[in-house]
């Protein structure tokens, strides 16, 4: 068969399959991310239906998916919100970082995977999925709740932390010696700071350039700019994801809102491809041996997120029931965690890291939203008793 024909047949089948899985997730009321991962496991090496030729094609799609994911994530918040959350919620944000990075880091060290894997796993357990959490808040009617601003500002804080964390991780993954590693980290952080300051101070110039009344022109300009900066960032060892994220932050207001709406379908397609690709790279045979470990890690990091939410909400003067809700809303992990694990797997940190991260995210992306739904009646009971 012709090469293009095979690619189209395989890729088409995968995407169509994802559509069917997405419909199922919608009906059951869970996030489709875990299902996409499972699909990837099935199509990968050692899976039920290994793909013959289109893996390379899918890998490029996955890279695009990461860029689009991070770009839209950056568009979600404007520069003002980032600064306010830094100044107002720094303490809760740091508690979040310490409590939730610890489980991943500790487990990697206990397993003897080394410091680089520890940093990667710290990122995997740290970040809450802002996408899934936003959906949980909306589905359960929690958006108007008084603890919700606290939850949202923690998510903003996490995103900012990621802007610093990702370049550090990328540099460490590059496996440089201590001195040259430190220099690259320095360069990476300086680049991030410069771009962040430029975005804050001169965001409106970038906006003036990108702005267009025509949605086609706007789409092309935003995607082009994001890819360009992502490529530049990759070249500077800062990771393409961070570049795209910074472009997203630089754009704000109505422009960001329009761009987000335009990018959403594109992002949905390529992000799904990214999750599949991550699954492809993971050997399903490796999942089972680490399943117990992943479950334990999930349980521990559920508790640490609950504590984080309770602490942050208490500081904001929220009563007991609201504190519990804040913690639960923070449980889901998803896209960011897989992006981090993907970087680590790409660098070949440890053969089992991908499987552990996949199993971990599978559990928390699926269980997080369900937990919130199941626990809601109990929380109401707490409130009634108080």
Partner 1 sequence: MEVEQTALPGIGLRHDFTTRRGQRVGVVSHRTGRRDLVIYDKDDPDAVCHTVKLNDEEADALAELLGAPRIVQRLNQLHQQVAGLVSVQLPIPAGSPYVGRPMGDARVRTRTSASIVAVVRAGQVFASPGPEFVFDAGDVVVVVGSEDSTAEVAGILAEG
Binding-residue pattern over the window 23 to 62 for partner 1, x denoting contact by CB under 8 A? ----------------------------------------
Taking the complex as a whole, the smallest distance from the CB of residue 158 to partner 1 amounts, in Å, to 11
Interacting span for partner 1 (CB under 8 A) from 44-52, 111-119, 292-300, 318-326:
318-326
- Which residue matches tokens 């799904």? 272
Torsion of CA 181, 185, 191, 192, to 10 degrees: 150
List, in order, residues 6 or more apart from 198 with CB less than 8 Å away. Answer: 250
Give the C-alpha separation, 173 to 171, whole Å.
Answer: 5
Give the C-alpha separation, 210 to 225, whole Å.
Answer: 9
Q: Which of residues 60-79 bind partner 1 (CB under 8 A)?
A: 76-77
Q: Is 247 in the site for partner 1 (CB under 8 A)?
A: no
Taking the complex as a whole, the smallest distance from the CB of residue 318 to partner 1 amounts, in Å, to 5
Report which of 247, 271, 379 is spatially closest to residue 325, judged by C-alpha positions: 379
Burial of 1 (0-12, 13-18, 19+ CB in 10 A): exposed
Taking the complex as a whole, the smallest distance from the CB of residue 18 to partner 1 amounts, in Å, to 26
- Across 132-239, the runs of DSSP E, i.e. the strands, are none
Question: 3-state DSSP helix/strand/coil percent for the chain, to nearest 5?
Answer: 85, 0, 15
Binding-residue pattern over the window 256 to 285 for partner 1, x denoting contact by CB under 8 A? -x----------------------------
Q: Is 5 in the site for partner 1 (CB under 8 A)?
A: no
Measured in whole angstroms, the distance separating CA 171 from the mean position of its chain's CA atoms is: 19
Q: Which of residues 112-131 bind partner 1 (CB under 8 A)?
A: 130
Q: Is 212 in the site for partner 1 (CB under 8 A)?
A: no
- Across the chain, the runs of DSSP E, i.e. the strands, are none
Binding-residue pattern over the window 320 to 359 for partner 1, x denoting contact by CB under 8 A? -xx--x----------------------------------
**Of 354 and 369, which CB lies nearer to partner 1 in the complex structure?**
369
Taking the complex as a whole, the smallest distance from the CB of residue 316 to partner 1 amounts, in Å, to 9
Q: Is 148 in the site for partner 1 (CB under 8 A)?
A: yes
Binding-residue pattern over the window 82 to 101 for partner 1, x denoting contact by CB under 8 A? --xx----------------
Burial of 117 (0-12, 13-18, 19+ CB in 10 A): buried
Cβ–Cβ < 8 Å for 275, 37: yes
**Of 83 and 296, which CB lies nearer to partner 1 in the complex structure?**
83
Contacting residues toward partner 1, per CB under 8 A: 76-77, 81, 84-85, 130, 134, 141-149, 152-153, 155-156, 257, 318-319, 321-322, 325, 379-380, 383-384, 386
């Amino acid at each position: 068969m012709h090469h293009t024909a095979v690619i189209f047949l395989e890729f088409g089948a995968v995407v169509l399959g994802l559509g069917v899985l997405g419909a199922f997730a919608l009906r059951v009321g869970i996030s489709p991310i875990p299902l996409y991962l499972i699909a990837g496991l099935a199509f990968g090496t050692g899976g039920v239906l290994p793909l013959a030729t289109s893996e390379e094609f899918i890998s490029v799609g996955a890279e695009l998916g990461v860029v689009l994911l991070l770009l839209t994530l950056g568009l979600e918040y404007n520069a003002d919100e980032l600064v306010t959350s830094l100044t107002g919620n720094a303490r809760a944000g740091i508690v979040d970082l310490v409590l939730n990075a610890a489980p991943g880091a500790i487990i990697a060290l206990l397993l003897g995977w080394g410091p680089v894997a520890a940093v990667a796993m710290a990122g995997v357990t740290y970040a809450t999925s802002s996408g899934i959490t936003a959906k949980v808040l909306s589905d359960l009617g929690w958006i108007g709740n008084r603890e919700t601003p606290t939850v949202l500002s923690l998510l903003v804080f996490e995103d900012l932390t990621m802007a610093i964390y990702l370049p550090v991780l990328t540099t460490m993954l590059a496996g440089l010696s201590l001195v040259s590693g430190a220099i690259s980290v320095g360069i990476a952080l300086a680049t991030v700071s410069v771009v962040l300051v430029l975005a804050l101070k001169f965001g409106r110039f970038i906006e003036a350039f990108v702005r267009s009344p025509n949605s086609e022109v706007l789409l092309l300009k935003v995607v082009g700019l994001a890819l360009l900066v992502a490529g530049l960032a990759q070249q500077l060892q800062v990771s393409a994801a961070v570049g795209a994220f910074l472009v997203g932050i630089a754009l704000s207001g109505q422009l960001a809102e329009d761009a987000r709406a335009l990018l959403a379908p594109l992002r949905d397609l390529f992000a799904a491809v990214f999750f599949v690709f991550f699954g492809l790279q993971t050997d399903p045979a490796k999942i089972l041996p680490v399943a117990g470990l992943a479950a334990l890690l999930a349980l521990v990091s559920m508790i640490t997120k609950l504590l984080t939410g309770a602490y942050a909400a208490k500081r904001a003067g929220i009563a007991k029931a609201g504190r519990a809700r804040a913690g639960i809303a923070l449980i889901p992990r998803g896209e960011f965690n897989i992006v981090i694990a993907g970087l680590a797997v790409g660098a070949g940190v440890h053969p089992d890291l991908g499987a552990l991260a996949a199993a971990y995210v599978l559990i928390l992306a699926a269980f997080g939203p369900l937990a919130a739904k199941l626990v809601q009646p109990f929380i109401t009971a707490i409130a009634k008793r108080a």
